[in-house]
Structure 1
């Protein structure tokens, strides 16, 4: 969620990481016993996620260290509730005594803020599921933390031209491009609690500056980021920048997403020497994780069309403008044998194909993106399988047509450890099942037939002649799609029909 406007008045560095979960993952759904979310693989499931992407799309318009990594004090398991409208979230702990907050992870914005000393109707204080379970959300107050401090207006950090008094606070207001959404409050500092991610689990506390969000508007009151937003952008106020400035981690982080909605984010991760990479296109004003694609290959079709795109973990589906969208879609369409599904306004994807009777697998041509610098980025699974109302199946190219900006969404990142290296200004990637560092590999990883519990299927070495073979021996169980790949667990919606604000 990129801000529209805002005001406010190494060597030896460790890395730390924590697990992240998608709202629709089975472990998350089990926490609250929510049983009325869209069925995985159903048309409603994909409609909900595509709708959520459209709501927040406006956001874009405006070497391994030798220390043990760090994790948030609660450890790697971050499953608490499934009531967040963003793709992925993590549980973070602040202050003394410590309070936990379930925060949305957003690479499209910079500020980390949490609900704090809320004005009337300015924060979401609880969420209620359709089954009646109420989850109370923590609300922060600097007065209740012995390690907290309010940033004064006359501080060098605040840089306000005028202060009403010497004791005035440093205020902020961030207006996002999404549906008149904003956060207003004051800047405070407090301890972010971390631990070394090793056998000793040494405690590490980081003094960070963040937003005490007293008044939220728009989608923040309608289910999106009800308990805070964790900015991962390039600005100095972002958490990655802060940790680097404190000397706790290098100015880099990685994100990886598994097939069951569980992944990791690691601060200070510069990746590995054998990872592939491409430079960022850095703008002078509000830089983003923008890269250039110089060639696109879909099976036997090759295009030398060059275009730029933003790698955004906060978007479910990749969306491309023409001519890139049409080239990929029509190239795939000309090389698959299945009958194309008739146009259906209930399905967010344009290119879908019906399974024949007794069909349990399908093969699509390999899709490879050549990045600036020459390294290849192979899509592990750019499709989605949807169960029809008649009980049959169809698979779709999970690509949306954009009118304004090119976004590489999470579905095109699945199966990789993606490194956002802000020191070298490069994007890195290496195949991973997103569970164990030892599994970072360029070799294929066994495909998963039990998506709620198994690692991701990764096959980055497939050639354009071999095609992408989809689970050739698996019969579709009645309860889920026959090919539910990793990104299906990263699709989200605003929960307006499933969760009510208490």
Structure 2
């Protein structure tokens, strides 16, 4: 946050003081000399490793990752000289809303164009492009009705589909497909996104950004038209654009409230007491971290695997052997009887419960690289069986094939910081209402559609496919809509 000193800087100040302290033992008549070492040098790396700090996670000298890290470091210094450290959020306020009938995703209200148009968008850290529906519905957003709108030409650095262009000055097309096979296509435009400072001034900031103007959407519920606000690490994401212009520090935070109300703040680097782990370098723009084990109640599971942290995926996906070890350990420590497989429920591990609050589960923590614990406070989803009035508690984890994703259900109850400057993920148990004042625009006029929409999920290149669970046709006929269950922690 503005005015605070980051722990990273504390460590290097300490490093400098240690050098000065060692030099002070030399004769006063001798000239004081200091050896200066680059942040990524072998000497500094060794010193960090000897003191249990994250030097071992830095890229090896001479590798492509090493060169990329140096270039990233230089860009960060330049951006810092431009940004004043202010935290920004949307002009309508920093509140976000989990809408269960739209795939259990978090949404925010954004304002675009001149005059400004209000649009509902799903917040997705698993993809980079921000796009909104244009010709799909009247009164949403139209480039022709905004005096500040400009179409992006094919020779722009933001245009990733130049091979599909008829000429350098023709309109740049975009196409994005998500893990559940939903997709959006259209053209790129540039216009004003309205933000405001999260301080006493609440000053409005007009940021010129590039985003997608969607002309066709497939696989998403369009009864309530909404866009997807990509927050990934690619150059087309809004955090990347804002930080490259020096408007914010290259970091943002999202708070995921237990009650479905959250927060988002751009330029927020979190607090000194938060847990952290480094990102794995991922050229696809994902927030990828390493997990070294799982604490499940009275059991510790030694596993090494990487996961994508994705707010745009409703639930959590684990591939084998992680999925099997996770679910078997969970099942062994639950006292309630497991239900037989049921086509009306999309989850594999479900249990009958006598009431909303009687189900007890083991404590769950993911052990992140570096030793930090990522607490999983709300892994369960509850259904109510209509005919027998039975409460059904399900472990909201799906088995995947070849990829692991921490969905937003595992982030519930946390403030998660995506520090792209430091290349680290931070988190802390948090009350989202304590993050400051917020304008909580009511959503009465944004009535959700009656049927759930597919999760935007992680965005993949068009040549890549991924399996996602599909709800069964008789699901809504047998059980009431699900909601997150306030289960009790504790060893069984």
| TM-score, length-scaled by structure 1 | 0.65
Correspondence 1:171 to 2:189: no
Correspondence 1:26-425 to 2 at 5 A? 69-76=87-94, 84=102, 87-116=105-134, 118=135, 123=136, 125=137, 137-141=139-143, 143-155=144-156, 158=159, 160=162, 168-178=169-179, 181-213=182-214, 215-220=215-220, 222-223=221-222, 226-283=225-282, 285-356=283-354, 360-389=357-386, 390-425=388-423
> What is the distance in 2 between the residues matched to 1:401 and 1:86?
18
- Cα 1:85–1:335 change in 2 (3 A) is closer
Partners of 2:213 and 2:228 in 1: CA distance: 11
Check 1:301–1:149 CA distance in 2 against 1; reply closer, same or farther (3 A cut): same
Contact 2:192 2:206 in 1 (8 A): yes
Q: Distance in 2 between matches of 1:233 and 1:366?
A: 30
Q: C-alpha offsets along residues 56-80 of structure 1, whole Å, 9 cap, x if unaligned?
A: xxxxxxxx99855323222245679
Contact 1:189 1:209 in 2 (8 A): yes
Q: 1:407 to 1:70 in 2, by over 3 A?
A: same
Q: Gaps (5+ residues) in structure 1?
A: 1-9, 14-63, 126-135, 440-478, 487-502
Whole-Å separation in 2 of the counterparts to 1:482 and 1:91: 23
Partner of 1:435, secondary structure, is helix
Determine helix, strand or coil for the equivalent of 2:243: helix
CA distance in 1, matches of 2:170, 2:483: 56
1:169 is displaced (CA, Å) by 3.1
Bigger radius of gyration: 2
Unaligned runs of 5+ in 2: 5-79, 438-479, 488-492
Contact 2:351 / 2:393 at 8 angstroms: preserved in 1?
A: yes
TM-score, length-scaled by structure 2 = 0.66
| CA distance in 1 between partners of 2:360 and 2:99 (Å) | 37
Deviations 1:243-286 (A, max 9, x none): 10111111111111112221111111111111111111112x31
Report which stretch shifted further, 421-430 or 319-328.
Answer: 319-328
Give deviations 1:382-418, integer Å, cap 9, x for gaps.
2233322301223232222222311111111111101
8 Å Cα contact 2:327/2:349 also seen in 1: yes
CA-based RMSD of the aligned residues comes to 3.4
- Aligned counterparts of 2:327 and 2:171: Cα–Cα separation in 1: 50
Preserved contact between residue 164 and residue 173 of structure 2 (Cα < 8 Å): no
| Distance in structure 2 (CA, Å) of the matches to 1:224 and 1:103 | 14
Mapped to 1, the partners of 2:316 and 2:288 lie a distance apart of 14
Relative to total residues, which structure has the larger helix share, 1 or 2?
2
Q: How many residues end up aligned between the 2 structures? A: 366
